[in-house]
Structure 1
Amino acid sequence: MTTLYPRLLDADAEPMFTQYKSALADGHGIEYLAEKASTTHLAAVYVATGGTRASHEHLQSLRDAVLALAHGTGFPGDSRNMAWFDTQLAQLLHQHSGMVPAEAAARDVWQFLALCLLPDVAFWRYPNPPGDRVLGTDLTRHVFGRLWWRAQLVHDPKSQDPYAGLQVMGEAAFDQIYARRAVLGGSPALVRGILEVWQELEKEGQLRGLTQRKVLQDYLKRLLRLFPFVDFDSLQENDRKLELWAVAEETVESCRGEFSKASASF
């Protein structure tokens, strides 16, 4: 059964965001936001579709789990390892939220989580955050929404470690994939295939000496050009990997050629 989350609309979310930023700027600590945390909000609404509304107990359990993870990373003081925290939080949110993609695609849901349920964690993770880190204007940057989607796209239920893909790329690199979600991000199997090929390229040393960001950008561009001609979702897993490998080899060869030309010019 789908779990439906409260949604905080822009008319209420934006003033709350401004209020919380101002309070912290005036010297209030994270404890102030902890006192504001709640599993309800008078203006919260639910989508009118089938599903079970998240109960107070469910929301409180999710908050408690996130807080326990945050405390293990230094909350409410300085974090000891935010990259580790993000990876663990992505898995936690995906496993315990009970969300389905339709809910997770709703920006108002993430506004509720960041401003009502977990404002202290949100503003601790991103002190003095720009709006898109807390409001739902861009889910690729939202403090919680980006992590749920990262876990969703790498999750492999057949694997002994279903979330192993979270360790393959950092946030900046994975965001390049998610930013192209209209095509690439619509297929978790394709995303997992890309991550698997990328991990093997790293293990084999094929990326050594190259700017990985540039290689990844080129790789994704080449894949996007193939989409009108290749239905990656319809391919068997092994055939899909062969196609992805072929594109990866072309990418590395091209990038090495450019690197050689640039080096020769000096």
Structure 2
Amino acid sequence: MSSFVYPRLDPAAARALLIERAPLESSQLFALSELKHNRASPSATGGQVVPERKLASVRDAIREAAENAGYPRPLARGQAQTFDRPCGSELLRIMNIVPADAASVGVWSFLTLVVVPEIGSWRFPGAPESRMLGKPRNVLRRLWWRAWALGPDLDAAPDGCAPLGEDEFVQIMERTTLGGNIRTARAIQNALWRAELNGLDVARSELMRQLARRVRGQRSHLALDVLDGAELDLLLDHLVATGVAALRGG
């Protein structure tokens, strides 16, 4: 399967679009969708440039995920994952983006501000800059990286468990030492699910906060990559147990 590099919107153009389009309604933004921009171009280092038909498929996949979550109606409280999880899985499946390109601010600025300009302000009313520009908390970028690290099906979970929620995703993915390593990220997710299957009497999201903090503490003096799978699971289960005890006040 081919991997592609995507157009990168330069920072000045991205900011100009952000300011220019901030007052517009969703229907107006929808109509402004384009598959190219005169201030966007792929990385000069080379690679197969994404064809417009692939960009159109990416646009359609994002919009389908939004429509399935109720777009253009505002997302109800607690319903953000009806968009986020399916969209992240679809982005990973369909984009075929070179991973190094997925770390580019300009790529995600281009997709968010040019290709699907209506999605950012729908998902995050008020359109905060951090969600619209292509930085790590961008409305689309964060979803691709979740699926890369934890997916590919972000709606999947073992029987008797729930998929990760927003706060749980954040605890892993906004800490690069955790979310930037697929093995570590998935091991943490699996440890949380094992705890859930064993029966939890504390809030799972609070346990994830404890676990993420404790794993980071371990990384200060232990190279997790030298542990084999069984050793890593044993360590994480111990950290889960200490986290549960702390939440119980023990």
TM-score between both structures, scaled by the size of structure 1: 0.84
- 2:66 aligns with 70
- 2:210 aligns with 218
> Which of 55, 59, 69 is the equivalent residue of 1:59?
55
Deviation at residue 20 of structure 1 after TM alignment: 1.0
Deviation per CA, 1:170-213, whole angstroms, max 9, x where unpaired?
112211211211x112211111111111112122223x2x3544
The 1:223/1:69 distance shift into structure 2, 3 A limit, reads: closer
- The answer (yes or no) to whether the contact 2:132–2:139 under 8 Å persists in 1 is yes
> Which of 216, 235, 244 is the equivalent residue of 1:252?
244
> Which of 111, 114, 118 is the equivalent residue of 2:112?
114
Q: Distance in 2 between matches of 1:79 and 1:218?
A: 29
Q: Distance in 2 between matches of 1:193 and 1:133?
A: 28
> Which of 202, 205, 209 is the equivalent residue of 2:196?
202
Amino acid at match of 2:232: R
Matched, 1:45 2:45: no
> Which of 15, 26, 31 is the equivalent residue of 2:27?
31
- The answer (yes or no) to whether the contact 1:111–1:136 under 8 Å persists in 2 is yes
> Which of 209, 228, 240 is the equivalent residue of 1:236?
228
Q: Distance in 1 between matches of 2:28 and 2:170?
A: 32
Deviation at residue 106 of structure 1 after TM alignment: 0.9
4+ runs of 1 displaced by more than 6 Å? none
Amino acid at match of 2:178: L
Q: Distance in 1 between matches of 2:157 and 2:98?
A: 19
- The answer (yes or no) to whether the contact 1:168–1:195 under 8 Å persists in 2 is no
Amino acid at match of 1:155: G
- 2:20 aligns with 19
Q: Distance in 1 between matches of 2:111 and 2:235?
A: 39
How many matched pairs?
Answer: 244
Q: Distance in 2 between matches of 1:73 and 1:178?
A: 23
The 1:74/1:162 distance shift into structure 2, 3 A limit, reads: closer
Deviation per CA, 1:97-140, whole angstroms, max 9, x where unpaired?
11233111111111001100000222222222111110124x1x
SS of 2:86's partner is helix
The 1:71/1:21 distance shift into structure 2, 3 A limit, reads: same
The 1:12/1:162 distance shift into structure 2, 3 A limit, reads: closer
Q: Distance in 2 between matches of 1:162 and 1:68?
A: 16
Deviation at residue 163 of structure 1 after TM alignment: 6.1
- 1:187 aligns with 181
Matched, 1:143 2:128: no
- 2:156 aligns with 164
- The answer (yes or no) to whether the contact 1:154–1:192 under 8 Å persists in 2 is yes
Deviation per CA, 1:59-91, whole angstroms, max 9, x where unpaired?
011112222222222222334643211110010
Amino acid at match of 2:11: D
SS of 1:101's partner is coil
Q: Distance in 2 between matches of 1:120 and 1:213?
A: 30
TM-score between both structures, scaled by the size of structure 2: 0.89
Matched, 1:6 2:7: yes
Amino acid at match of 1:222: R
The 1:257/1:73 distance shift into structure 2, 3 A limit, reads: closer
Q: Which runs of 5+ in 2 are unaligned?
A: none
Q: Distance in 1 between matches of 2:21 and 2:107?
A: 18
- 1:262 aligns with none
The 1:211/1:68 distance shift into structure 2, 3 A limit, reads: closer
